[in-house]
Chains A and B, each alone.
Chain A
């Protein structure tokens, strides 16, 4: 897992949040995480395919998710319903999508899968043999939002025989 894959996600998260939430998140210290870790209350899972592949998981507390969804919808979220979940998923999709442009500028062309939301704190996620790097973001007036990046360069196993 190379650190150069992480930068685009942090950079994209800051610019997307500035525009969508109207606030500038502060980046915390990058750290490594074992292949198996326990989720936060709300997790957006985005698959990355292409020249680098793996998973990016955006994790946050329920309170943070409520505040983000309220800001995006423009009205307070009373119950975390389908619309609120969709707003949070779309935030993950926008961060991942914007990261792809930055990864492409480094020569890695990739694609993303539609986001999935996992709710519940006792879920153990394993990224198989790819360790995750985590960047915490402190979003003013909203809370902590962490980005788990677990990517590796595609193995060239399927090379064609000339």
Chain B
């Protein structure tokens, strides 16, 4: 069965781009969230296999959402996918439990490799 992914990004363009990459590589997009609060809510409802998480978003940012999701489910797999690649941000995300940190702009292969590694049986 295809692994189910929850996409989180405030930019419609980014959600569409990620959805294309994921579906072309055999993943199922379980849902799309436009901010951190929506991601937490959809995580509870959909129980996805993995979440992609932007950081700069209105309402609730991606770091706060990552922490809430990890509190709900300590085994949650969350991959940060953001334009902010400065070291302190990467460290904060990894310490909060993020499994990988992808800096935008990215090549589709970078996303696919991260998912394959994390979702390997």
Contact = CB atoms under 8 A, between A and B. Distances in A.
A146 B13 CA distance: 22
Contacts of B89: 100
Given A20-B105, A97-B56, A112-B56, A89 B11 contact: yes
B13 A86 contact: yes
Interface string A1-36: 000000000000000100110000000000000000
Interface in B74-96: 82-89
A35 to B, nearest CB: 26
Interface residues of A, number: 26
A128 B89 CA distance: 30
Interface string A91-129: 001111110110110000101111000000000000000
B40 to A, nearest CB: 18
Contacts of B104: 90, 93-94, 97
Given A20-B105, A114-B58, A109 B86 contact: yes
B11 A100 contact: no
Contacts of B107: 19
B51 to A, nearest CB: 19
Main secondary structure of the interface of A (DSSP, over half): helix
B12 A19 contact: no
A111 B83 CA distance: 11
Given A16-B105, A97-B82, A97-B104, A90 B11 contact: yes
B25 to A, nearest CB: 17
B16 A83 contact: yes
A93 B83 contact: yes
Interface of B: 10-14, 16, 56-58, 82-89, 103-105, 107
Interface of A: 16, 19-20, 72-73, 82-83, 86-87, 89-90, 93-98, 100-101, 103-104, 109, 111-114
